[in-house]
């Protein structure tokens, strides 16, 4: 026998599988098998779990969502204006799927609070907010259709660049030019920057390249200029920036203050938007973050969640990167 506590029956929030398992004194995995895969556990335990679920008012997440939400044909999007290529791709794909995008402010606390309050007015949500740390637990119910495009987290389907594949391309290119050492400049509060760092460490260790990593370098012309002093400590033959603007600022400062030539004296690679790398007469070699492909895939994944909620599962979708060869890398 089991006993349902007053607190369990008076809770107004949605009853979860964890709640059922706790009251039935079984593991959550056991409760899941009892409710979703009949015949996988002994009949007595299965009957107990089903009775507890009935008494607590448990219902499948997809059924709860359908019962408590009305279809609006609107999708919430939280994104910074600077990610215009990603935003354009999301909007275009949403229009093709007959959805209207609703933009939310891209500020951590305000965005999450607004999303939590307004989610009943949209059918799903796409988040690309660089101010949201990569491991933060999103303050919205995990049963809601959700896709995240700026980091990998356990609570949602994520569409992100395949940094391991992209970094491997970049290292192959630099090694073909006989480079033996790299300085990597990155910002520590970005999932992309940290993911690239991990891939660089692994790749350099495997290929015998020397890596010097310098954190807390934002993507701006000023940050790139300041990075010159850090680079001078090791004078590595190749420099990689997680950001196109900082790469440009670095090259401008090299020419202005040190008269160091790119790529004759040092090679420079930017990770980011290849279009920004064309702002100068000298085209920057860029490991391109495929924002348009990410935007299209994010919408595809979200629409699939909305239309097939019974098959929803959190997963990571990696989008291949490409190396756009410019004029800033050469033989060492």
Residue 315: per-residue pLDDT: 85
Residue 188: per-residue pLDDT: 81
Nearest to 329 by CA among 248, 267, 253: 267
Share of the chain above pLDDT 90, in %: 56
Query: For residue 61, is pLDDT > 70?
Result: no
**131 neighbors 107 (Cβ within 8 angstroms):** yes
Judged by average pLDDT, the poorest of 34-43, 116-125, 241-250, 295-304 is: 116-125
Residue 70: per-residue pLDDT: 62
Residue 230: per-residue pLDDT: 96
- Label the pairing between strands 181-185 and 146-148: unpaired
Residue 39: per-residue pLDDT: 82
Domain 67-160+292-320 matches domain 163-289 at the CATH topology level: yes
Domain 163-289 -> CATH class: alpha beta
Bridge partners, 271 (sequence order): 287
The rounded distance, in Å, linking the Cα atoms of 40 and 37 is 6
Give the residue, 137 or 24, on which the prediction is more confident.
24
Nearest to 127 by CA among 145, 147, 154: 147
pTM for the predicted model, two decimal places? 0.76
The rounded distance, in Å, linking the Cα atoms of 133 and 12 is 30
Residue 71: per-residue pLDDT: 73
The domain segmentation of the chain, as residue ranges, is: 6-58, 67-160+292-320, 163-289
Largest CA distance in the chain: 82
Mean pLDDT over residues 248-264, rounded?
94
pLDDT tens string 123-167: 888 988 665 554 444 555 555 688 999 888 877 889 999 999 999
Annotation: CATH topology of 67-160+292-320: Rossmann fold (3.40.50)
**24 neighbors 49 (Cβ within 8 angstroms):** yes
Give the residue, 208 or 118, on which the prediction is more confident.
208
Query: For residue 111, is pLDDT > 80?
Result: no
Residue 9: per-residue pLDDT: 42
- Chain-centroid distance, C-alpha 316: 9
**268 neighbors 288 (Cβ within 8 angstroms):** no
- Label the pairing between strands 285-288 and 322-324: antiparallel
Nearest to 128 by CA among 104, 96, 100, 154: 104
Q: What is the DSSP letter of 83?
A: -
pLDDT tens string 81-94: 788 899 999 999 99
3-state class of 136 per DSSP?
coil
Nearest to 286 by CA among 219, 202, 205: 219
Enclosing H/E stretch for 307? helix 291-307
Nearest to 87 by CA among 299, 326, 279: 299
**246 neighbors 193 (Cβ within 8 angstroms):** no
**290 neighbors 320 (Cβ within 8 angstroms):** yes
Q: Does domain 6-58 have CATH number 1.20.210.10?
A: no
Judged by average pLDDT, the poorest of 52-61, 135-144, 210-219 is: 135-144
- On the 0-12 / 13-18 / 19+ scale of CB atoms within 10 A, 308 is exposed
pLDDT tens string 281-332: 779 999 999 999 999 999 999 999 888 865 666 689 999 999 999 999 999 8
């Amino acid at each position: 026998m089991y006993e349902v506590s007053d607190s369990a029956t008076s809770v107004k929030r949605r009853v979860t599988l964890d709640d059922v398992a706790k009251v039935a004194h079984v593991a959550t995995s056991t409760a899941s098998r009892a409710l979703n895969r009949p015949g996988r556990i002994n009949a007595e335990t299965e009957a107990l779990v089903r009775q507890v679920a009935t008494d607590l008012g448990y219902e499948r997440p997809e059924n709860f969502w359908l019962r408590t939400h009305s279809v609006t044909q609107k999708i919430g999007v939280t994104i910074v204006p600077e990610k215009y290529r990603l935003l354009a791709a999301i909007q275009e794909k949403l229009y093709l799927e007959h959805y209207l995008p609703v933009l939310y402010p891209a500020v951590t606390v305000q965005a999450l609070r607004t999303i939590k309050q307004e989610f009943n007015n949209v059918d799903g949500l796409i988040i690309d907010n660089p101010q949201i740390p990569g491991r933060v637990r999103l303050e919205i119910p995990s049963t809601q259709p959700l896709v995240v495009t700026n980091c990998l987290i356990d609570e949602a389907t994520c569409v992100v660049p395949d940094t391991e594949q992209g970094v491997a391309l970049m290292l192959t290119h630099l090694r073909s030019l006989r480079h033996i050492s790299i300085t990597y400049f990155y910002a520590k509060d970005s999932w992309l920057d940290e993911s690239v760092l991990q891939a660089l460490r692994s790749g350099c260790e495997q290929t015998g390249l020397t890596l010097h990593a310098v954190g807390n370098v934002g993507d701006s012309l000023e940050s790139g200029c300041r990075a010159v002093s850090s680079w001078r400590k090791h004078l590595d033959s190749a420099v990689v920036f997680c950001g196109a603007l900082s790469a440009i600022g670095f090259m401008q400062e090299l020419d202005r203050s040190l008269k160091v030539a790119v790529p004759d004296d040092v090679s420079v690679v930017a990770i980011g938007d290849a279009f920004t790398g064309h702002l100068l007469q000298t085209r920057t070699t860029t490991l391109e973050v495929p924002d348009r492909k990410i935007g299209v895939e994010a919408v595809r994944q979200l629409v699939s969640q909305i239309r097939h909620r019974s098959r929803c599962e959190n997963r990571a979708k990696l989008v291949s990167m490409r190396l756009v060869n410019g004029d800033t890398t050469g033989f060492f």
